[in-house]
Amino acid sequence: MIVLERVTQTFEGPAGAFTAVRDVGFSVAPGRFVSLVGPSGCGKSTLLGLIAGLTPVSEGRIALGGRAVGGGVPPNIGYLFQRDALLPWKTALQNVALPLVIRGVPSADARERALAWMKRVGLAGFEGYYPHQLSGGMRKRVSLATTLIYEPAVLLMDEPFSALDVQTRNLMENELLDLWAETRNTVLFVTHDLEEAIALSDEVVVLTASPGRVKASYPIPLARPRNVIEIRFREEFTRLYERIWKDLRDEVLTGYAQATKA
């Protein structure tokens, strides 16, 4: 369970204090997949950083599973970064096993479980490869395995597939849904792509242009299991897309005007 109450975040910038998000409040029930959409620069990634305890919150309250976040990284969360965060000096297998090694799992055991996860993300045979020897899609799969192997209760994802080409991206989205159907973590997925948000989520939260506030929240009553490639052609999908887009469009235009004025 993720709960945000009146969260405001300000940063000291070169041009004085800058408010990234203002009075943000929403919650994600256990086992739900919620997406956060908004124009670029609206503070989506900032929110993830706050929930993960990487940056201290200026105002408001964030709680994970009933425990307030503050003073460091909360236990049992996973974070899939937009940029690759695999350690370049470790092989794919060593990267996947690292969270277990950190938890003190005996190395033979960690290795075995990492091997199983490499297989699960379709990378059997690539265990000994270093990150730079893998394609962008493969690196994402390794990152995904690295994050899921320790079964975090909460999974934060920051535009994880935005750097991939469209085909690879759709395949990865399907794989993510398949894996999630088994693990059922609580997921907060940040994206600027509304199609992706609707196709994946149980609920889509729209943020306003900077400083980000919650503009509206939409349940997505599409049946699972879903195929993200085909679901886009369904009439329900199009209707949802149109409704949410009307909200999002104004914010995107405002965000664009802000960015070009600056």
Q: Which is nearer to other proteins, 94 or 208 (CB)?
A: 94
What is the C-alpha separation between 249 and 202, in angstroms, rounded?
21
Of 103, 125, 166, 261, the residue at the interface with other proteins (CB under 8 A) is 103
What is the C-alpha separation between 139 and 129, in angstroms, rounded?
10
Residue 99 found at the interface with other proteins (CB under 8 A): yes
What is the C-alpha separation between 127 and 173, in angstroms, rounded?
22
53 Ramachandran zone, left/alpha/beta (phi>0; psi -120 to 50): left
Q: Which is nearer to other proteins, 32 or 90 (CB)?
A: 90
Residue 90 found at the interface with other proteins (CB under 8 A): yes
Which of the stretches 71-79, 111-119, 180-188, 238-246 binds other proteins when contact is defined by CB under 8 A? 71-79
Q: Which is nearer to other proteins, 97 or 200 (CB)?
A: 97
Q: What is the per-residue binding string for other proteins in 143-182, x denoting contact by CB under 8 A?
A: ---xx--x--------------------------------
Of 98, 118, 176, 209, the residue at the interface with other proteins (CB under 8 A) is 98
CB atoms within 10 A of CB 198: 25
Nearest 10 degrees: Cα torsion 146, 153, 244, 18: -80
Of 54, 124, 253, 257, the residue at the interface with other proteins (CB under 8 A) is 54
Task: List 188's β-bridge partners, or say none.
Answer: 34, 156
Q: Which is nearer to other proteins, 137 or 152 (CB)?
A: 152
Give the interface with other proteins as residue ranges (CB under 8 A).
Answer: 52, 54, 73, 75-79, 81, 83-91, 98-99, 102-103, 130, 132, 146-147, 150
